[in-house]
Amino acid sequence: MHDKTCHPFLVCGKVFPINSLVKIDKPITIAKVTVNPQNSKMPCVLLNSSQNLSFQTTGFNATLIIELRLVRIANQTKETILEEWTYQLAENIPTPVPNTRTIEPLVLNFCDCLSDNCGKLTYEYQISSVTTINTTFDLSRQEVSAIVSCGSSELPGRFC
């Protein structure tokens, strides 16, 4: 058995392009990254996901609500929801406006601190629900990564 180290490392993940969804029956994975922090002492995993959210309004009372979540999968079976976010179109304009196309950055970050006994972990960013009225959307220029580094044993929320 060798000693645990404190050398940070970066892992790039895989993204899954999404074109306009109207309704979903189960969560859809938009990005995932797998890390193996077993050689790191009291590791913390800093997860970063970024993408451009493009949407187009096409009529009165345009609505866009996207529920996103970050899930940790341990041992390829145990799934834990770590965080949930809601994106909502900022305002409805109840007057006639021409079709409007908007592009906004959507950046999601999370730090997951672990115990020393963790094996391979997969993190997935998912869309868990979508509500659209007179709106279409897509995600582009997606990226996901994880930085594994040493943490402190005093940090709360240790897993494994």
- Domain extent, residue 33, equals 9-149
Half-sphere exposure of residue 110, counting CA atoms within 13 Å on the CB side? 20
CA distance 112 to 74: 13
Q: What band does 30 get if pLDDT is binned at 50, 70 and 90? A: very high
More confident residue, 24 or 22: 24
Asked whether residue 140 is assigned to any structural domain, the reply reads yes
| CATH code assigned at 45 | 2.60.120
For the chain, the average pLDDT equals 85
Tell me: pLDDT of 152 over 70.
Answer: no
Asked whether residue 154 is assigned to any structural domain, the reply reads no
Asked whether residue 159 is assigned to any structural domain, the reply reads no
Which pTM value belongs to this model? 0.86
Tell me: pLDDT of 64 over 80.
Answer: yes
Question: Vertex 143, ends 142 and 149: CA angle to 5°?
Answer: 160
Based on the structure, what is the number of domains in the chain?
A: 1
Q: Give residue for tokens 């897993």.
A: 159
Strand intervals (E) in 58-155: 63-74, 78-88, 100-113, 121-133, 135-150
